[in-house]
Amino acid sequence: MPEPHSIALPLWQLPVLVFVPLSVLVALGIGLHRFVRRRSAPGEERDWSVPPLAYGAGTSPLHRWDVRCKIVTILVYSFMIVSLAHLTPALAAVAVSLLVLVVARASLVKVLMRLLAITGFVGMFFVVMPLTAPVHPGDTVVIFGGLKWLGFNLRGLQLAATIAAKAVAITLLMEPLLSTAPLPVTLHGLSRLGAPEIIGQMVLLSYRYLHVFRHEARRMSSGMRVRGFRKRTDLQTLRAVANFLGMLFVRSFERTERVFDAMRARGYRGRFPEPDAPPMTAKDLVLAAVWLLVGTALVAGDRITW
């Protein structure tokens, strides 16, 4: 059994080799965030009289793909990616996801926004795993200034990179999954696959009323701030926040009742109208099969080659 390989470096190199790359990563995230904000700023108002997916980007093979095939394929493929254990196939999965993005003509800004959402979570692995991964025979450990308890395990770094690559590969696929069909169509596809219809309805209504809820919370928060409320670590703050949350709950509860009344008043009888969906064709099945074959190849490669 080969012994772990140690590399001794002076302590002053710790910030250079660990914290500087991390800082660069954080700076990159902030830059990305600003870029996304700038790019997502509306220019001219788009034409809302036509469906957003009617022209241009809305004519890709993924947009035309049967929504049930799309959900099942991407779900199964995602599980395949999760099962990968090595960095190279995980990076290959990222490449496949990027290819899918190009084919789906997905919006760069929206993709970046999704990536931004996971950067904190993924970044944590890069900090924690190299410092906490158990040292196995054959591992390379960088030790700074003779502090053995602060060993930086490169295998841990590789593991973190593998997890990050898998997370990125799956996150990149969320845009083709969710943005190539209107949300009600996707949810209806889910219910046609056997998911309880009520879940689809709840997701749809939650998505709609999340914005209303957010606006209400923001207005109430402003109402408190203009009367001098600032969050502190004292009992008064705790009481004020409890009142705020209680009132928000009461308002949300009352709105829920009113929305349900409004739905009943317009003839709702427990079911949302089903959108017209074209029948599944052989083309849809072929596309699903090809994609799953790619997934199978990645898994096989992961198990055999590395």
Assess 52 for contact with other proteins (CB under 8 A).
yes
Least distance to other proteins from the beta carbon of 267, Å?
A: 3
Q: Which of 258, 279, 282, 304 binds other proteins (CB under 8 A)?
A: 258
Q: Write the binding mask 55 to 74 for other proteins: x where contact by CB under 8 A, - elsewhere.
A: --------------------
Assess 261 for contact with other proteins (CB under 8 A).
yes
Assess 226 for contact with other proteins (CB under 8 A).
yes
Q: Which of 44, 149, 266, 278 binds other proteins (CB under 8 A)?
A: 266
Assess 220 for contact with other proteins (CB under 8 A).
yes
Assess 255 for contact with other proteins (CB under 8 A).
yes
Q: Which of 148, 225, 231, 283 binds other proteins (CB under 8 A)?
A: 225
Q: Which of 29, 86, 107, 216 binds other proteins (CB under 8 A)?
A: 216
DSSP state letters, the chain: -PPPEEEEE-TTHHIIIIIHHHHHHHHHHHHHHHHHHHHHS--SPP-TTS-TTSSGGGGSHHHHS-HHHHHHHHHHHHHHHHT--SHHHHHHHHHHHHHHHHHHT--HHHHHHHHHHHHHHHHHHHHHHHHHSPPPTT-EEEEETT-GGG-EEHHHHHHHHHHHHHHHHHHHHHHHHHHSS-HHHHHHHHHHTT--HHHHHHHHHHHHHHHHHHHHHHHHHHHHHTTT----SSHHHHHHHHHHHHHHHHHHHHHHHHHHHHHHHTT--S-PPPPP-PPP-HHHHHHHHHHHHHHHHHHHHHHHT-
Name the residues that contact other proteins, by CB under 8 A. Answer: 37-38, 40-42, 47-52, 182-184, 204-205, 207-209, 211-212, 215-216, 219-220, 222-230, 236, 240, 243-244, 246-247, 250-251, 255, 258-259, 261-269, 272-273, 275-276
